[in-house]
Structure 1
Amino acid sequence: MVEESSGQDRRPGIAICAYETDDPVWDFVEDLSGRLWNPPGARTVAVPADEPDALAQSLADCLRRNDCQALLLVGRSSRAPVFRVQMRAEGRTPGEGRRLSRTGPSIARSTAPVADMVRALHEAGLKADASSDAEDDVGSYLLYRLLSELPDSPDAPAIGLLRTPLPADEAVVSKGVKAAASAMARRLSPLPRAAV
């Protein structure tokens, strides 16, 4: 089930998904109002964590809708001591190393504005980098599935994966997610009137 912010407007939607069911990483509702945080110029579409196949389907459905132009996956890094924007993912099942598809590409590259995201994290005072090293987990699986199933189009949605350092507390994680999502949102265009 996808939970959208209330009210209809022409701001483009950016789906944000903290995909780990046992470690939600970040709470989209930050105060007692119950409203979702929104990056400047965009509207957050919160997609709750689920088991990997069902979550991949929910995220793909969200991206197929005309009002959702971007997706930021958020999860912990088992390797990096800093925020890391993962630039690619391999077509393997998490934990097993088995190929997902015999005919699909072996790797898929992120369509998110990686350099802008890393720059925004630095400007927020956070240590961050970008890496092509894929971790063998649900985050890499989701990134690959969504990127490899995208139609070939100049209007393809921006899809990125932000990994947070394992020891980071909720305030630091929140700062990082907001910086990365805001960098992605700056590249999005308002929705046409017909889509609202």
Structure 2
Amino acid sequence: MTDTRPGIVICAWDAGESGWDPVEDLSGEPWNPNGARTVPVPSASPEALASTLSAHLSDRRCRALLLVGRTRSHEGFRLQMRAENRSLDGAARRDGVGPSVARATAPVAEMVRALKEAGLAADATSEAEDDAGSYLLYSVLSSLPDGADTPAVGLLRAPEKESDDAVQRAVKTAAQAMARHLAPLPRSRAI
């Protein structure tokens, strides 16, 4: 049978992040939001990860990306709405000809609303943090081709001291909110 569910890539960029585990039980199968299938991507070096994530999104069956990481500057969950054109160390521009800022394409307002409805403190921010998450968000967004069929790309930050259970719940809630905006794949793209 053909799987017409669009793919949503979920990636915790920090190798030490224990809050997001796509496999919940002994089945070895990753969790999937309603109406979509999860494509888990393990952490790697930021440069390699940017390339891997962009390759996944170039596959027309993958329609979304949720980056997951921590924030050191806030007490609640945050959805980062933009990223600046900065190198990984923040000392220079990442791309000499790219735009100064890239804006997230995920349904941020709906994601924040869903997180709040799940009982989690959450908001959206235009402030980037100087870390691999912001670097990855910019790298992926700036590599997307122009067009009306742009994938949903977002970055969810959990408070630094938040429990793994709360992070797991937040990732699932945000991914489910993203999945509600994804249309089933045409049969010609389904796997």
What TM bracket, shorter-length normalisation?
over 0.9
Unmatched 5+ residue regions in structure 1? 1-6
Distance 1:165 1:8 in 2: 39
Cα distance in structure 1, aligned partners of 2:63 and 2:89: 30
Q: Show structure 1 runs of 4+ deviating over 4 A.
A: none
- In structure 2, what is the Cα distance between the partners aligned to 1:14 and 1:96? 29
Q: Is the 8 A contact 2:18 2:164 kept in 1?
A: no
Counterpart of 1:138 in structure 2 is: 132
Instruction: For residue 48 of structure 1, report the CA deviation from its aligned partner.
Output: 0.8
Please give the TM-score of this superposition, normalised by the length of structure 2.
0.96
**Structure 2: unaligned runs, 5 residues or longer:** none
Corresponding letter in the other structure for 1:39: P
Indicate conservation of the 8 Å contact 1:24/1:49, yes or no. no
CA–CA separation in structure 2 for the residues paired with 1:162 and 1:103? 27
Q: 2:74 and 2:87 mapped to 1: Cα distance?
A: 21
Once the two structures are TM-superposed, the CA of residue 8 in structure 1 deviates from its matched residue by: 5.1
| Distance in structure 2 (CA, Å) of the matches to 1:163 and 1:132 | 13
Is the contact between residue 82 and residue 101 of structure 2 (CA under 8 Å) also seen in structure 1?
yes
| C-alpha distance after superposition, 1:39-74 (max 9, x if no partner) | 111000001100011101110010011210000000
| Alignment partners' CA distance in 1, 2:40 and 2:126 | 26
- Tell me which residue corresponds to 1:10: 4
Using the size of structure 1 for normalisation, the TM-score is 0.94
| 2:58 aligned with 1:64 | yes
Query: Who is 1:20 aligned against?
Result: 14
- Is 1:109 the counterpart of 2:103 in the alignment? yes
Count of residue pairs brought into register by the alignment: 190
